[in-house]
């Protein structure tokens, strides 16, 4: 039987292990097409269409896109009494500033009325059935219990997330320890350009007591 090598990301390091040819594509995310995202939480203008693009795409490994968790301190058990705020940033974002699409140069004033007339008389523009498409960096947070069952899915444009009290209690009641897996990608109109990922972020173990 032909053997493949599976690549996994653990604590910022790449680990290699042999596996049979029927194993999952190593470049797919751990949250591939089998993941049920119906309960996912969307924050900061992210969309389900963009998330579907992320989980359907092959992961890329780029050290500049590794994620560091700034808070809370995951080396100690977190309190079950108060939801923790998870704060994180990409290695490439020393200033924690998100990647933004450069603004186009402003058109001369005399061209603006002409452009508006062209828009009015031109063909109908595309309408997005699910709202405004997402642009910018998106972070996909997947919190899994000790049985590798997803307990919380969050797709956010923000570099922090605080679960509500009910969600935090669900995590506290789950089988410990928990694992936070973060994947990131850059989006243009819900799509991921060739240089936009999605990227391996990191896997972080923690517990709630």
Query: Model pTM?
Result: 0.70
Give the model confidence (pLDDT) of 110-119 as tens digits.
555 655 665 5
- Residue with the larger pLDDT of the pair 196 and 9: 196
For 154, the token pair is 């969050």
Gap between the Cα atoms of 86 and 41, Å rounded: 15
Grade residue 130 by pLDDT with cuts at 50, 70 and 90.
low
Gap between the Cα atoms of 183 and 204, Å rounded: 12
Ordered by where they begin, the domains of the chain are 38-95+131-206 (2.60.40)
Beta strands in the chain (DSSP E): 3-10, 13-20, 41-43, 67-71, 86-90, 136-144, 150-156, 160-161, 178-187, 199-206
Any bridge partners for residue 78, and if so which? 208
Gap between the Cα atoms of 114 and 31, Å rounded: 48
């Amino acid at each position: 039987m032909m053997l493949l090598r599976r690549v996994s990301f653990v604590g910022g390091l790449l680990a290699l292990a042999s596996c049979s040819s029927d194993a999952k594509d190593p470049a797919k995310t751990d949250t591939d097409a089998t993941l049920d995202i119906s309960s996912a939480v969307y924050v900061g203008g992210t969309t389900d269409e963009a998330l579907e693009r992320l989980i359907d795409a092959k992961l890329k490994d780029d050290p500049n896109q590794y994620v560091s968790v700034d808070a809370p301190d995951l080396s100690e058990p977190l309190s079950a009494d108060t939801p923790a705020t998870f704060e994180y940033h990409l290695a490439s974002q020393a200033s924690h500033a998100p990647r933004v699409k450069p603004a186009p140069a402003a058109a001369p004033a005399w061209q603006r009325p002409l452009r508006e007339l062209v828009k009015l008389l031109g063909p109908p523009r595309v309408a997005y059935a699910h709202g405004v498409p997402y642009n910018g960096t998106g972070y996909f947070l997947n919190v899994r219990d000790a049985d590798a069952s997803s307990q919380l899915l969050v797709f956010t444009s923000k570099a922090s997330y605080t679960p509500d009290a009910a969600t935090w209690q669900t995590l506290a009641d789950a089988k410990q320890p928990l694992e936070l897996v973060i994947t990131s990608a850059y989006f243009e109109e819900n799509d991921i350009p060739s240089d936009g990922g999605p990227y391996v972020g990191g896997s972080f173990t923690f517990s709630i007591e």
